[in-house]
Amino acid sequence: MQIKQTAMAGTLESSDIQITLTPITKETEIYLDSSVGKQFGSQIKQVLLKTLASYQIENVRVDAVDRGALDCTIQARMQTVIQRSLDQVNQVNWEVL
């Protein structure tokens, strides 16, 4: 599935993550700026990729600025930004939740 537009979700507050999705024409790219990247960077990227896979999203650039968010927060922010980028804000995909 291809996203329709660039979208963003989240904040730069402590214990949160700000994620921006941008459509691209090549393989999915993840750029992570995290205050806990050395300890949890691979886990954060895994949550981002797993959430993209659940929506069958491909060919996107993910820019994530993490401030110590828990996995559940990362997943919730990803679901929100995906819904926004698909322009389906009021049409929740319950199957992937």
Model's pTM, two decimal places? 0.89
**Which value, to the nearest 10 degrees, does the dihedral of the CA atoms of residues 38, 3, 72, 13 take?**
70
pLDDT at 4: 86
**Cβ atoms 27, 59 nearer than 8 A:** yes
To which residue do tokens 């949890």 refer?
40
pLDDT digits (tens, 9 = 90+) for 10-26: 999 999 999 999 999 99
Calpha distance 53→88 (Å, rounded): 17
pLDDT digits (tens, 9 = 90+) for 54-90: 999 999 999 999 999 999 999 999 999 999 998 876 6
Helix axes of 37-54 and 71-85: crossing angle, nearest 10 degrees: 40
